[in-house]
């Protein structure tokens, strides 16, 4: 057998093995903890594939707008959010979806949300990713993002240790657009805001460049759906639909970072520590998660699914090639950024997925506050990057799509 044939066989075997492993894991989880949980692992796998093949990230989209005034990524996020509220608000208003009781992520607006989201925003630019970006790029073979993920978990645990103190600071009561205006009114208000943000990016981009950036031309061949890349707008639509599928199966929107806190807490206790007296872990839901198997946790199984789905996508694209040669200052940025991401997410009731995507899709005003504060943090993070990456004009080697 020729060397070329062996290489092609190895490229095919990895995605097949990863895909088979994901299905097998979903069946095992489903048999042990219920069919819905197994299905959610598969939804996570699809999310990972969409994130990777569509290169749908938040960090790079915000960075490019801040530094270059290119808004194509931000406009795609507005499309994603618009589809999400159209799907979510009627279900949240009725309180059930296909017989499943559902609820949204609606949280108070206070000092902890503003500070946590700002810190998360800085961490996005130093760590090179967000909640979803860290998972799918690590799963896709980016070795540096494994460092970010590790310290994301560390920061999350520290955040739970300080959570009660931050929650004692001044805050407004939760505000839900669905409760205030009804499903129809909430949709109308949200769509106006999305349109305003999209229009702002158009104005700023035309002012800087004279015209809007054209989307890359993508080969329409059949294999594209296996190997990628996928159109950015396809990614926006798919993420909104898959988040809605999560709502239908889990009874709540997609989330990511609560699992990081859980993993870190279980790891800390395995080393002899005790988190049970921390206020965050005394809440009934978190206390139950701490005592139960990690595989019974919805967010955990979806996160694992995302990483495996991204592995499948990267392998199909022939781009799974981890590089462990990481410059020292890039490594330091990953450590600091990861801690900021984890700590900030705990204070702000989530990350770009749970607080921003899930919060706004739930009609929660805290999602909009998160967006403003995190964007401000990204602006500072962009200015800090040259200190870690001298000679690159502040261009952090951000992973694909992050």
Please list, in sequence order, all residues whose beta carbon lies within 8 angstroms of the beta carbon of residue 142, skipping any fewer than 6 positions away.
Answer: 322, 399, 400
Q: Tell me what pLDDT residue 394 has.
A: 40
Q: Is the dihedral of CA 52, 54, 56, 62 positive or negative?
A: positive
pLDDT of 83 strictly over 80: yes
Number of domains in the chain: 1
Half-sphere exposure of 21 (CA within 13 A, CB side): 14
Quick one: CA dihedral 348, 95, 101, 303, positive or negative? negative
Band of the pLDDT at 390, cuts 50, 70, 90? low
Mean pLDDT in the chain? Answer: 92
In a domain, 394, yes or no: no
pLDDT at 162 over 80: yes
Other C-beta atoms closer than 10 Å to the C-beta of 307 total 23
DSSP H helices in 168-222: 177-209
**85-106 tens-digit pLDDT:** 999 999 999 999 998 999 999 9
Residue 1 has pLDDT above 60, yes or no: no
Place of tokens 């799963």: 139
- pTM of the prediction? 0.93
pLDDT for residue 134: 95
What local confidence, expressed as pLDDT, does residue 401 receive? 52
**6 has pLDDT over 50:** no
Residue 177 has pLDDT above 80, yes or no: yes
Average pLDDT over residues 47-60: 94
Tokens of 232: 């950015």
pLDDT for 4 equals: 39
Question: Does the residue 7 lie in any domain?
Answer: no
| Max avg pLDDT among 3-7, 9-13, 15-19, 290-294 | 290-294
| CB neighbourhood size of 5 (10 A) | 9
Angle CA 334–339–341, to nearest 5: 90
pLDDT tens, position by position, 313-329: 999 888 888 888 889 99
Q: Please write the tens of the pLDDT for every residue from 225-254.
A: 778 899 999 999 999 999 999 999 999 999
The average pLDDT across 328-357 equals 97
Domain presence at residue 247: yes
Domain that holds residue 136: 13-215+226-388
CA distance between the termini of the chain: 39
Asked whether residue 221 is domain-assigned, the answer is no
Give the burial string for 338-353 (b: 16+ CB within 10 Å, else e). bbbbbbbbbbbbbbbb
What whole-number distance in Å separates Cα of residue 260 and Cα of residue 295? 13
263 pLDDT more than 90: yes
The residues that bridge with 364 in the sheet, in sequence order, are 176
Beta bridge partners of 176: 364
Is the dihedral angle over the CA atoms 202, 207, 212, 213 positive or is it negative? negative
Could you give the CA distance from residue 3 to residue 98 in angstroms, rounded to a whole number? 52
- The answer to whether 384 and 125 have CB atoms below 8 angstroms apart is yes
**What is the average per-residue pLDDT within 61-73?**
96
What share of the chain has pLDDT > 70, as a percent?
92
Most confident of 96-100, 189-193, 387-391: 189-193
Q: Is the peptide bond before 6 cis (omega within 30 degrees of 0)?
A: no
What is each CA distance from 72 to 115, 232, 236, in whole angstroms?
28, 9, 12
pLDDT digits (tens, 9 = 90+) for 201-217: 999 999 999 999 888 87
Express as a percent the part of the chain with pLDDT over 90. 82
Rounded to 10°, the helix 59-68/365-388 angle is 70
**What does DSSP say about strands 109-110 and 171-172: parallel, antiparallel, or unpaired?**
antiparallel
Position 4 in a domain: no
Q: How far apart are CA 193 and CA 367, in angstroms?
A: 13
Show Cβ contacts of residue 331 under 8 Å, excluding neighbours closer than 6 positions.
Answer: 144, 147
> How is residue 7 written in tokens?
């290489």
CB 349 within 8 A of CB 366: yes
Q: Does any domain span residue 262?
A: yes
The answer, yes or no, to whether residue 5 has pLDDT greater than 50, is: no
Residue 396: band (very low, low, confident or very high) from pLDDT cuts 50, 70, 90: very low
pLDDT value for 2: 43
Q: Does residue 340 lie in a domain region?
A: yes
Residue 371: name the closest of 343, 337, 348, 394 by CA: 348
Residue 374 has pLDDT above 90, yes or no: yes
Of the ranges 83-92, 134-143, 210-219, 279-288, which is most confident?
A: 83-92
The answer to whether position 241 is within a domain reads: yes
Rounding to the nearest 10 degrees, give the CA dihedral for residues 147, 152, 154, 155: 140
Q: Name the DSSP letter for residue 352.
A: I
pLDDT for residue 223: 66
Q: Using CA atoms, how far apart are residues 65 and 204, in angstroms rounded to an integer?
A: 9
Half-sphere exposure of 378 (CA within 13 A, CB side): 22
Does the pLDDT value for residue 148 go beyond 50? yes
Q: How far apart are CA 29 and CA 48, in angstroms?
A: 18
| Rounded (10°) angle between helices 298-316 and 3-33 | 170
Per DSSP, what are the bridge partners of residue 100? Answer: 97
Predicted local confidence at residue 25, as pLDDT: 94
């Amino acid at each position: 057998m020729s060397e070329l044939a062996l290489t092609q066989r190895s490229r095919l075997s990895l995605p097949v093995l990863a895909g088979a492993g994901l299905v097998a894991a979903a069946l095992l989880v489903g048999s042990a903890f219920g069919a819905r949980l197994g299905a959610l692992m598969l939804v996570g796998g699809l999310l990972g594939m969409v994130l990777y093949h569509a290169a749908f990230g938040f960090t790079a989209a915000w960075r490019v707008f801040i530094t270059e005034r290119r808004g194509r990524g931000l406009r795609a996020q507005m499309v994603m959010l618009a589809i999400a509220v159209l799907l979510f608000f009627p279900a949240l208003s009725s309180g059930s979806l296909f017989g499943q009781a559902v609820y949204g992520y609606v949280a108070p607006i206070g000092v902890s949300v503003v500070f946590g989201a700002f810190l998360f925003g800085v961490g996005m630019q130093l760590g090179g990713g967000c909640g979803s970006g860290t998972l799918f790029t690590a799963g896709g073979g980016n070795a540096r993002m494994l460092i970010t993920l590790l310290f994301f978990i560390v920061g999350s645990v520290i955040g739970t240790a300080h959570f009660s103190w931050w929650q004692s600071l001044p805050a407004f009561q939760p505000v839900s657009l669905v409760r205030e205006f009804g499903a129809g009114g909430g949709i109308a208000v949200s769509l106006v805001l999305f349109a305003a943000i999209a229009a702002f990016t158009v104005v700023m981009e035309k002012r800087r460049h004279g015209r809007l950036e054209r989307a890359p031309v993508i080969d329409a061949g059949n294999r594209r759906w296996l190997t990628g890349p996928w159109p950015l707008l396809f990614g926006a639509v798919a993420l909104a639909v898959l988040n809605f599928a999560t709502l239908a199966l889990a009874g709540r929107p997609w989330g990511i970072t609560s699992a990081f806190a859980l993993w870190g807490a279980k790891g800390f206790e395995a080393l002899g520590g005790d988190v049970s007296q921390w206020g965050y872990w005394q809440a009934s839901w978190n206390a139950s998660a701490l005592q139960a198997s990690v595989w019974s946790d919805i967010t955990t199984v979806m996160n694992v699914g995302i990483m495996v789905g991204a592995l499948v996508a990267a392998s199909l694209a022939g781009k799974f090639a981890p590089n462990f040669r990481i410059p020292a200052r890039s490594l330091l940025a990953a450590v600091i950024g990861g801690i900021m991401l984890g700590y900030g997410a705990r204070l702000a009731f989530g990350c770009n997925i749970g607080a921003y995507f899930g919060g706004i899709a739930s009609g929660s005003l805290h999602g909009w506050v998160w967006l403003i504060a995190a964007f401000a943090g990204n602006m500072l993070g962009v200015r800090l990057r040259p200190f870690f990456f001298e000679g690159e004009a502040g261009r952090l080697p951000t992973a694909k799509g992050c």
